[in-house]
Amino acid sequence: MLLAIPLLPLLGFLINASFGRRISKAAAGAVACGAMLASFAIAVASVVRLASLEPDSRAIVSRAFTWISSGDFTADFTLRLDPLAAVMILVVTGIGTLIHVYSTAYMHEETAPEYARYFSYLNLFAAFMLLLVLGSNFLVMFVGWEGVGLCSYLLIGFWFEKRSASDAGKKAFIVNRIGDFGFVLGVLLAFVRFGTIDFQQIARAAAPMSPEAGFGTISIITLLLFVGATGKSAQIPLYVWLPDAMEGPTPVSALIHAATMVTAGVYMIGRNAVLFAHAPATLTVVAVIGTATALMAGTIALVQNDIKRVLAYSTVSQLGYMFLAMGVGAYAAGIFHLFTHAFFKALLFLGSGAVIHALGGEQDLRRMGGLKRDLPITYWTFLIGSIAIAGVPGFAGFFSKDEILFRTFASGHAALWTVGLLTALLTAIYMFRIVFLAFFGERPPEPVAPAHPEEEEPAAKGGHATGPTHLAHPTHLHDAPPAMALALIVLAIGSVLAGYASLGGRFERFLEPSFAPERVEEVADRGLELTLTAVSIAAALGGIAIAAYFFLKNRRAADRMAERFAGVRRLLQNKYYVDEIYNGAIVQPIRIVSENALWKAIDVRVIDGAVNGVGEAVTGASDILRRLQTGSVRAYAASLFLGVVLILGYYLWP
Amino acid sequence: MVPLNYYLVLSAMLFAIGTAGVFVRRNLITILLSIEIMLNAVNLTFVAFGRALGSADGQIIVFFVMTVAAAEAAVGLAIVIGLFRHRESLNPDSWTALKW
Amino acid sequence: MPPGISTSDFYYILPELVLTAGALVVLIADVLLPRERRSALSWVTLAAVGATLASLLPFTSTHVEVAHGLLAVDRFALFFKIVFLVAAAITVLMSVRYLAIEGASPGEYYFLILCATLGMMVMAGGIDLITIFIGLETMAVSFYILAGFIKPNQRSNEAAVKYFLLGAFSLGILLYGMSLMYGLSGTTNLRVMATSFGAMAGDSRLALAVILVVAGVGFKIAAVPFHMWAPDVYEGAPTPVTAFLSVGSKAASFAMLIRIFVEGLPSASEDWRLLFWVLSIATMTVGNFAAVTQTNVKRMLAYSSIAHAGYVLIGIVAGTSRGITATLVYLMVYSFMQLGAFAVVVMLRRADVVGDELKDFSGLASRNPFAAFAMLLFMLSLGGIPPTAGFMGKFWLFSAAIDAHYYWLALIGVLNSAVSLYYYIRIVVFMYVKKETLGSEPTTSPTLAVVLAVAVAATLVLGVYPQLLFNVAAASARTLGAAGATAALR
């Protein structure tokens, strides 16, 4: 039965890939959504069965066949459902289904073959993602790992028109090669060290060992695996591809680049929790990188004007939180944040998609405004998503983020906790900046010259029928069509309710078998916990207040100031004073630091430069090697003979 | 009787001359002939070893090498003529349409 | 050894005899058939290949030496013979349409394909310098002619001249090395040689012989720095010939390499292991890096083929039975994906368009989804992405290297795979992401569809269920050598 979960989307892919040109759009969409829905149903049934098992033996194993077997080495093609995988398959199939449904409306202007092609990629992605999650050893996981990368690559480039195709997703590609290189080496080294690549066997072999004091083999293995995770999950220094990936259709961003694929790195660490627990050095690296990424991406998100880019950096930042949790050994908390994040981030992306859809491809926040009136469903659901991610009590994000921050503090990482808290504040600010800029105020008149041409989306608004070229009707905006609204509403409900899964430590207890040997001791200090919770609530609310002041109230205050030019002088001065402080002490430094230093200097120059440098070095070396091939047959003979002479010389050398 | 080493040195020299011819000569036919010299050097080695070792294998293999060399020469000359039809040049360096 | 050649020897070389007869039938039929019916020759050729495959059946577990130890009939040879014959059959299927477009006469062409196959089969079975040399030349001379088969095409001619000159030159070097081997051991039989070399480990004269033979064999497998002929010849030769050259000739040369070094020179294994270690790294790296900036797909595949020779050498360097098994597995897997990729190139060949430039692939996904999907699969497989056969092959090679403690080799292999994806994916991007720029459809024909279907099926099946191939290859590797000659197989 387990096999059917990835096989159904694969079947959907096969149908749409083979007959996509001949069937109608409705049929193609129905096949894709039906496959996902059926897969979701089976996933739910499997998880229910799993939950009914004894906690100690809570795993369903389905061995398809022996994949490789030679002497001492065996790798089976085996799927294994344990509580950790259960959480993931529910996310992938559940949210995946909603995004498929949403896509049927979002992509409705594509031609029939393109439409089928889109859904076939989406289904293939789901199949590989499920394989990644369900695989019981590194080899099966690697199949999924590479597969999702390929699908992501194809989907990012789905609309690439104007940019030369070989540049499309080039950055994503190079970065992921570096990550995969680390991952493969980690797996090979694990194989050398443990003689197996099965997760269970590795965990069993590692469990009795004592954690490595220094920097031993396990530390190297885990560090290499973590390099793979940074590539897939967009962490420093390999995060740069994710914002570019926003070139793809918005539902793809929601599914692949927010809810599922980018969390594969977190999942992989959770899957190997026992191994990582034995490498404290690596865990420290993971925690520090995660925290640094969370902060850095959070600051960058503050100043971006493209709505999808804000969300992309927000995703990077939230993934940083998950890695922080993994790094401090709070695996359940990290996975829980992955779970809740999938809901509200998918919701936010789909909501932004609805906005973009309504505005005919417009993605610039400065050219939005007042959408609350025209797009009520989008507004309310987006608001719920924003509240959830900001960490307001009662919504999903609060539970998981609070848990991570508490665990971080409780494990003695006060500095990381402080940065995490700061990031929570930033999260609330940038999310509500979007809310206030897009949905409140007034929409500026249509012709606005692009202030930053480099942020324009050259591809998405390309030729006819290749992008979301829905004709904009500035006066009459239509809210999300039913299929899109359905997805938004369901996800909004999830964004509220998902958090309650953890009440009373239920979520953690459910996941426990997956991380069994690494039990996190309960810190019994209720007072401390409540204090920390209060602080993080304050951060969330404070962030919303700051955003409200500067992006909502201040805009009106400025208007009022223009009217009542001779108002109370002191009040005005005071306002001016606050503006100055805001501008001089908060906005400008943050803007300068994040835009110039972090985004422009580090992001664009250093890391982009390094990535492009790798590409250029390879191309340059390639060109030299090419030019050696002069076409002269005598030169070739000389090369042949020179080879012999060189080898001879090596032997004759004393 | 002439010692084995004399033959070996001679054949090594012949081989070197043939090899040098391949590099130095700028005519396809001459290069072909230089390769023939290399093969003949090899033949000499085989025969000398066979004689010194008192085994017939060396002589046998020489017959095969000669036969193959003849076949190769026939095919090679045909190919060179085919090329010559396109442009009347036997300089190998003038045939560099395939490169990089 | 029995004096003279007995009749039982003829029984053991039945497959070779069948193939020879088939080749002669093709040649005669070419004369007898009227010109307009000569396309039927492809079916005669296929029948000959099929009959040869069938005649292999009695020898599935034979393990004998025939004709004074000139040839070995064992599973190792059998494995390679299957590779050659399958490759030949696929090549013939690919050629039907190609020859029709080029207007070349099919008779000699198919005859030469069969001759080349015959040479390969002799190479794989040869355990004597004489048979190996004769097999090698039968194959090489056929390929010289085949490379220049499209006579009106200057590039084809140039490829032939280059291949011929360098081939003959490298043959001289190889033979010189062989003559030294003969002189030092007093025999041409590799297995006898292994015992007489037993006491000669570390002898500098032996090292000289090894180096010269490595250079000669290195040329045939296109190992760096003996590789320079390959890109030019692959690009210029007719596409089906290129496909056969890059698969059949390479596999046969590896069979020869294993016979000579593992069977004949186990005592010098320290020397040749080190040599192949260096060659493997140089070959992988140069092949992959040079491929990155190619815009001609045939030339890119040529560099890719060079790089693959480097990967395969990893198994030889490891030298363990797992290493040899991995070599066999990889050569089999490689045959399918490489032939498949060239079949797609053939598909794009039209009367007016050569179809081997990268831009000819743009938008292929919308013009011919099946061909594009097949190409995608071959590219992923060549790049070593699961769940394709190429991944399994590479996994096996690298784990063999790790098993034999060649960690650096495995590391560089993995790094090279990462680089190689760069250019493989480029084709995928052109096919799937770029929009249609060419007006006309790629022409399909039933034979090409069969080729693609077979290659796709093999690439997928061997990737998802590689166990059978592993077992067969392991059994084949075990039969290598007489009792004493397996010393190199730790």
Is A633 in Cβ contact with C414 (below 8 Å)? no
Give the best residue of C122, C179, C356 to mutate against chain B (max B CB count within 10 A). C179
B-to-C residue pairs, Cβ atoms closer than 8 angstroms: 123
Quick one: pLDDT at residue A531? 86
Specify the amino acid at residue B97: A
Q: What is the DSSP secondary structure assignment for residue A479, as one 8-state letter?
A: -
A284: exposed, middle or buried (C-beta count within 10 Å: 0-12, 13-18, 19+)?
middle
Q: Which residues of chain A from 433 to 492 reach within 8 Å of chain C, CB to CB?
A: 466
A481: exposed, middle or buried (C-beta count within 10 Å: 0-12, 13-18, 19+)?
middle
Specify the amino acid at residue A117: R
Give the best residue of C180, C281, C285, C289 to mutate against chain A (max A CB count within 10 A). C289
Is B92 in Cβ contact with A632 (below 8 Å)? yes
Q: Classify B99 as helix, strand or coil.
A: coil
Instruction: Phi first, then psi: give them for residue B22, nearest 5 degrees.
Output: -60, -40
Specify the amino acid at residue A426: L
pLDDT band for position A577 (cuts 50, 70, 90)? very low
Residue B100 in any domain: the answer is no
Measured between beta carbons, the chain B residues lying within 8 angstroms of C160 are 79, 82-83
Question: For residue C58, is pLDDT > 60?
Answer: yes
Is A638 in Cβ contact with B92 (below 8 Å)? no
Measured between beta carbons, the chain C residues lying within 8 angstroms of A625 are 286, 289-290
Quick one: pLDDT at residue A169? 62
A585 close contact with C: CB closer than 8 A: no
Give the best residue of A633, A642, A645, A648 to mutate against chain B (max B CB count within 10 A). A633
The residue ranking higher by pLDDT, A431 or C349, is A431
A18-32, B55-69, C328-342, range with the lowest pLDDT:
A18-32
Nearest chain B Cα distance for residue A617, angstroms: 18
Region A336-353 average pLDDT: 93
Measured between beta carbons, the chain B residues lying within 8 angstroms of A627 are 100
* HSE-up (13 A, CA, CB side) for residue C290: 28
B61 close contact with C: CB closer than 8 A: yes
Q: Classify A123 as helix, strand or coil.
A: helix
Measured between beta carbons, the chain A residues lying within 8 angstroms of B92 are 632-634
Residue B10 in any domain: the answer is yes
Question: For residue C239, is pLDDT > 90?
Answer: yes
Q: Which of C161, C173, C232 sits opposite B83 (nearest CB)?
A: C161
Q: Which of B26, B95, B100 sits opposite A629 (nearest CB)?
A: B100
Query: Which range marks the domain in which residue B65 is found?
Result: 4-94
- Rounded distance, CA C477 to CA C375, Å? 31
Measured between beta carbons, the chain C residues lying within 8 angstroms of B5 are none
Q: Which residues of chain A from 316 to 355 reach within 8 Å of chain C, CB to CB?
A: none
Q: Which of C293, C396, C410 sits opposite A626 (nearest CB)?
A: C293
pTM of the model: 0.84
- Rounded distance, CA C462 to CA C333, Å? 7
Quick one: pLDDT at residue C94? 92
**Residue count of chain C:** 490
Give the best residue of C157, C178, C181, C292 to mutate against chain B (max B CB count within 10 A). C157
pLDDT digits (tens, 9 = 90+) for C430-486: 887 766 665 456 777 889 999 999 999 999 999 888 888 988 998 898 888 643 334
Quick one: pLDDT at residue A453? 39
Query: What is the total count of domains within chain B?
Result: 1
Quick one: pLDDT at residue A518? 45
A565-569, C154-158, C315-319, range with the lowest pLDDT:
A565-569
Q: Which of A523-532, A563-572, A590-599, B23-32 shows the highest mean pLDDT?
A: B23-32
Question: For residue A568, is pLDDT > 50?
Answer: no
Quick one: pLDDT at residue C351? 64
- Rounded distance, CA A378 to CA A224, Å? 42
Q: Classify A364 as helix, strand or coil.
A: strand
- Rounded distance, CA A228 to CA A231, Å? 5
Question: Which chain C residue has its CA at the smallest distance from A157's CA?
Answer: C433
Specify the amino acid at residue C225: P
pLDDT digits (tens, 9 = 90+) for C124-177: 999 999 999 999 999 999 999 999 998 888 889 999 999 999 999 999 999 999
pLDDT digits (tens, 9 = 90+) for A114-138: 888 889 989 999 999 999 999 999 9
Is A188 in Cβ contact with C231 (below 8 Å)? no
Q: Which of B18, B22, B61 sits opposite C130 (nearest CB)?
A: B61
Quick one: pLDDT at residue B6? 92
pLDDT digits (tens, 9 = 90+) for C67-86: 878 899 999 999 999 999 99
Mean pLDDT of chain C: 88
Instruction: Phi first, then psi: give them for residue B36, nearest 5 degrees.
Output: -60, -40
How would you write C200-256 as a 3-class SS string?
HCCCHHHHHHHHHHHHHHHHHHCCCCCCCHHHHHHHHCCHHHHHHHHHHHHHHHHHH
Question: For residue C382, is pLDDT > 60?
Answer: yes
In this complex, which chains have at least 3 CB pairs below 8 Å with chain B?
A, C
Residue B74 in any domain: the answer is yes
B62 close contact with C: CB closer than 8 A: no
Question: Which chain B residue has its CA at the smallest distance from C156's CA?
Answer: B83
Question: How many percent of chain A have pLDDT more than 90?
Answer: 27
C108 close contact with B: CB closer than 8 A: no
pLDDT digits (tens, 9 = 90+) for A58-108: 888 888 877 777 667 778 888 999 899 999 999 999 999 999 999 998 888
Q: Which residues of chain A from 174 to 213 reach within 8 Å of chain C, CB to CB?
A: 174, 177-178, 180-181, 184-185, 188, 191-192
Give the best residue of A15, A173, A629 to mutate against chain C (max C CB count within 10 A). A629
The residue ranking higher by pLDDT, C446 or A175, is C446
- Rounded distance, CA A477 to CA C49, Å? 69
A150 close contact with C: CB closer than 8 A: yes
Residue B40 in any domain: the answer is yes
Is C385 in Cβ contact with A165 (below 8 Å)? no
| CA distance from start to end of chain B | 54
Q: Which of A147, A168, A622 sits opposite C433 (nearest CB)?
A: A168
A-to-C residue pairs, Cβ atoms closer than 8 angstroms: 155
Q: At what angle do helices C250-258 and C129-147 cross, to 10 degrees?
A: 170
Provide the CATH number for the domain around residue B58: 1.10.287.3510
pLDDT digits (tens, 9 = 90+) for B5-26: 999 999 999 999 999 999 888 8
B87: exposed, middle or buried (C-beta count within 10 Å: 0-12, 13-18, 19+)?
exposed
Q: DSSP letter string over C74-108? A: SHHHHHHHHHHHHHHHHHHHHHHHHHHHHT--HHH
B22 close contact with C: CB closer than 8 A: yes
C4 close contact with B: CB closer than 8 A: no
Quick one: pLDDT at residue C244? 96
Quick one: pLDDT at residue A236? 80
Is B15 in Cβ contact with C161 (below 8 Å)? no
Question: Which chain B residue has its CA at the smallest distance from C140's CA?
Answer: B72
Question: Which chain B residue has its CA at the smallest distance from A626's CA?
Answer: B100
Q: What is the DSSP secondary structure assignment for residue C33, as one 8-state letter?
A: S
Mean pLDDT of chain A: 80
Residue B57 in any domain: the answer is yes
pLDDT digits (tens, 9 = 90+) for A617-646: 777 888 888 878 887 888 888 888 888 888
Q: Are C16 and C117 in contact (CB under 8 A)?
A: no
Measured between beta carbons, the chain B residues lying within 8 angstroms of C130 are 57, 60-61, 64
